[in-house]
Amino acid sequence: MKIISYNVNGIRSALNKGLIDWIKEHQADIYCFQELKANKEDIPTERFEELGYSCYWFSAQKKGYSGVGVITKIKPLEVTYGCGLEQADYEGRVLQLKFSEFTLINTYFPSGSSGDERQAYKMEFLSEYLDLIKTTLATENKQLIVAGDYNICHQAIDIHDPKGNKDSSGFLSEERAWMDQFFEQGMIDSFRIVNQEPHQYSWWSFRANARNNNKGWRIDYINVSAALKDHIQHAEILPHIMHSDHCPVELVLKFD
């Protein structure tokens, strides 16, 4: 089972840059999109359905902002729009799908880069979100996947300039400590299980030719609970795919 997580930075923009052609060629089973920047009615759902995908969109109340979506060839048993956190749901940040083999939570974590107010909200969200993860893991279904743009680099290996960015939102000590707590719940960084190499990034600034120089950040993840560890067959980042300032990240799971 092939799963993709991809911050498309505007799904209509990504479609104009060839997203459908890539999906048609790539044929993953599940795509988790973040930052749709579109209302549900403005997304050409039929283009995905023509390729055999069922589509689930959770847009922000504010037009042209945030939003998450999942397209899947495997019909979910249950879909939950949102997570019960008022501001997060207003901003369209969390979409949960239950499948027979696992529960999938697709999340667009807040960025704190625009100022102190948003950074404060980011930390509030992280605290409340960790409770959601603990609750989900405590249920009978301990097979959990948390995909999305986390807007956090966990370790120095995940960012091109750790010293220069130690005071930057996305690499603050308190954010990295939250990632430690997240993994301590029994979640696993599926990419790092497979690939320990440096210079592996999923987002690059539009400034200073950062992508061509590979001065990036690894802030996009498909993390899994320990119960799924033995099902991990492959994980990689796809930096050559360029519909966005992010690139897709991929996880392949094998079930008997």
3-state secondary structure of 105: strand
| CA pair distance 123, 104, nearest whole angstrom | 23
Which amino acid is present at 120? A
| CA pair distance 133, 91, nearest whole angstrom | 19
- Answer yes or no: are the C-beta atoms of 176 and 217 closer than 8 Å: no
Annotated catalytic residue, options 21, 116, 131, 149 = 149
Residue linked to tokens 């930057």: 168
| CA pair distance 75, 144, nearest whole angstrom | 17
Catalytic: 167? no
3-state secondary structure labels for all residues of 200-244: CCCEECCHHHCCCCCCEECCEEEEEEHHHHHHEEEEEECCCCCCC
Partners of 95 in beta bridges = 81, 106
- Answer yes or no: are the C-beta atoms of 105 and 129 closer than 8 Å: no
CA distances from 99 to 26, 156, 209, 235 (A): 22, 34, 41, 20
- Name 57's Cβ contacts closer than 8 Å, sequence gap at least 6: 36, 40, 43, 45, 67, 68, 69
Q: Which residues are catalytic?
A: 149
